[in-house]
């Protein structure tokens, strides 16, 4: 029987991952080397042929990947993979996988919840009740915003964007979209330019990948174009929104409100945002249910098991197509 390949796991020992990987591969847990990580990586570097990412705040850049001269695959948790230099990996014969599809519906549910909470002020209304103000001051004031007279512009019409649009259809809310290219089979109006869409709608829902290509794409000009009735909902990455520009726009009421599930420097949230009572803030919980996270963990495992069996990866990212390039 051939020797089991060596795999490095970054992040916590999630039960689904431990149960799935331990019988099939030799797993090296970086978390067990607290305070001695550099020595640990030097020790296992020449053995490791794959990396599984349960969660990591560390960047898997060229310098990190070069610690593992036999590296063939990186199986990363989550849809976003901007923490991995996928282009460098692809150029050097390393396949990178992520965990799409299994979280689409959960994230879309959260996006609609965040939109409703923001527009209808539900968290603020609940605080009003809990503080006894319904008794002492009467009914909660009528909200100025509603979904009934809004048009939503979705920034990024990928898998999750389409799931969000489907829900908005059910709510009877008109949808348009902006992405790098028109999407096949999508009937919603397409805007080649984000700024033009921002002028024509009053609600932006952002669900694009992070990384250099989308950094600060929601900037001062886009927010100004969205206007004083504007609501911004960000389910993408904190880097996609120019956070100082957003804070300024909210302070000055350049836009009406914002619902944010992601931030530029998580888990740190700017004090200015925390002090605003006309916005809604979630602690990056888009896919955060036990059911969906277990499915994501399992897909990380399944990609590793496919690699270990000499089979094609299940969900390679676009920068690292299969079969890999030979560097």
Which of 203-225 are b and which e, b meaning 16 or more Cβ less than 10 Å from the residue's Cβ?
Answer: bbbbbbbbeeebeebbbeebbbb
178 has catalytic annotation: no
Phi/psi for 78 (5° steps) reads: 105, 160
Residue 210 near residue 79, CB atoms below 8 Å:
no
49 has catalytic annotation: no
Question: Which are the contacts of 250, defined by CB distance < 8 A and separation ≥ 6?
Answer: 257, 258, 273, 276, 278, 279
The C-alpha atoms of residue 286 and residue 258 are separated, in whole angstroms, by 16
Between β-strands 203-206 and 189-190, what pairing exists: parallel, antiparallel or unpaired?
unpaired
Question: Which are the contacts of 190, defined by CB distance < 8 A and separation ≥ 6?
Answer: 176, 177, 178, 179, 182, 183
284 has catalytic annotation: yes
CB atoms within 10 A of CB 56: 18
Q: Of the candidates 268, 276, 267, which has an alpha carbon nearest to the alpha carbon of residue 259?
A: 276
Which among 180, 253, 266, 278 is annotated as catalytic?
266
Which among 178, 237, 243, 293 is annotated as catalytic?
237
Q: Of the candidates 158, 72, 102, which has an alpha carbon nearest to the alpha carbon of residue 300?
A: 102
User: What does each C-alpha distance from 22 to 18, 19, 293 come to in angstroms?
Assistant: 6, 6, 19
Which among 92, 199, 229, 284 is annotated as catalytic?
284
Give the residue numbers annotated as catalytic, written as ranges: 237, 266, 284
């Amino acid at each position: 029987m051939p020797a089991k390949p060596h795999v490095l796991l970054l992040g916590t020992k999630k039960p689904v991952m431990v149960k799935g990987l331990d019988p099939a591969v030799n797993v090296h847990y970086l978390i067990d080397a607290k305070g001695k990580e550099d020595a640990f990586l030097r020790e296992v570097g020449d053995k490791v042929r794959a990396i599984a990412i349960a969660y990591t705040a560390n960047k898997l850049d060229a310098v990190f990947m070069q610690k593992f001269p036999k590296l063939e695959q990186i199986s990363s948790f989550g849809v976003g993979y901007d923490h991995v230099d996928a282009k460098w990996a692809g150029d050097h014969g390393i396949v990178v996988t992520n965990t799409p599809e299994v979280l689409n519906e959960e994230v879309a549910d959260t996006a609609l919840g965040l939109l409703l909470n923001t527009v209808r002020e539900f968290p603020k209304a609940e605080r009003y009740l809990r503080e006894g103000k319904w008794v002492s001051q009467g009914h909660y004031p009528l909200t100025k915003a509603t979904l009934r007279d809004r048009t939503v512009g979705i920034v990024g019409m990928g898998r999750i964007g389409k799931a969000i649009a489907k829900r908005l259809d059910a709510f009877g809310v008109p949808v348009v979209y902006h992405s790098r290219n028109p999407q096949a089979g999508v009937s919603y109006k397409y805007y080649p330019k984000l700024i033009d869409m921002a002028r024509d709608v009053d609600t932006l829902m952002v669900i694009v990948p992070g990384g250099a290509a989308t950094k600060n794409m929601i900037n001062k000009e886009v927010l100004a174009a969205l206007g004083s009735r504007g609501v911004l909902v960000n389910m993408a990455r904190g880097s996609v929104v120019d956070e100082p520009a957003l804070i300024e726009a909210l302070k000055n009421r350049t836009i009406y409100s914002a619902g944010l599930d992601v931030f530029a420097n998580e888990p740190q949230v700017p004090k200015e945002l925390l002090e605003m009572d006309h916005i809604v803030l979630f602690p990056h919980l888009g896919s955060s249910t036990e059911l969906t996270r277990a499915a994501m963990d399992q897909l990380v495992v399944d990609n590793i098991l496919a690699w270990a069996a000499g089979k094609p990866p299940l969900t390679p990212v676009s920068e690292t197509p299969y079969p890999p390039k030979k560097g």
